[in-house]
Amino acid sequence: MDYYFDASVCGFYCSAVHGSRTIEITDPDWIHPTVEAVLNPGESAMDVEGGMVENISDEPIKVIVNDPEAVAPTITVDNPDCQIPAAAVEISENVYSQMLEGQGVGLRITADDNGQPVLIEQPAPTEEELSSAAARRRDVLLTEAATRIAPLQDAVDLGDASSDEEAALLSWKRYRVALNRLAQQEGYPARIEWPVSPAEATV
């Protein structure tokens, strides 16, 4: 099995899954050599055209047949079914294993100037990445808060809320306000003190 690395996508390929880059085929220009064979009365053989020749005479006859001992030569050609990119470089199985092991302990796989895979430390997330991640989590929590608040608000609006429901509504609204004020925290987005939801506070 051969292994390859494509620097453009930092991806790995192997011949067992994606096909070999080359295959062996019979040389299409090869001409099968012929030999002279003797057919005794009643015997038959396949001639060079692929047809059958039968000796129906009373005497042995000579016919020209393909040499049964001849072995067709093969040539190496590109494999049309290969899915390995042309720009991918071949790597050893040892290098492939090292890359996967490094990735498993938190390192990042990238390419060097020669297109070979190398391991580097994961870069720290940018402020923009941290902010985007925080916003995604905040939006999920806000959706949950809105779901909890809606029926409680309905009960209050209808004048049918218990004291526990009124207290719960107030807690969920305070929680939602705290979520909306995350960006006002000092150190945001690198350091965030996430508010505890009323659901977690009662556990």
Q: What is the pTM of this model?
A: 0.53
* Contact status, residue 84 vs residue 13, Cβ threshold 8 Å: yes
**Res. 186: pLDDT tops 80:** yes
pLDDT band for position 49 (cuts 50, 70, 90): confident
d(CA 94, CA 108): 17
pLDDT in tens, 101-127: 999 998 999 999 999 999 999 888 899
pLDDT band for position 203 (cuts 50, 70, 90): low
pLDDT in tens, 54-79: 888 889 988 888 888 899 999 999 99
* Contact status, residue 96 vs residue 116, Cβ threshold 8 Å: no
d(CA 178, CA 67): 90
pLDDT at 17: 94
113 by Cβ neighbours in 10 Å (0-12 / 13-18 / 19+) ranks as exposed
Q: Judging by DSSP bridges, how do beta strands 117-120 and 52-54 pair with one another?
A: unpaired
* Contact status, residue 77 vs residue 27, Cβ threshold 8 Å: no
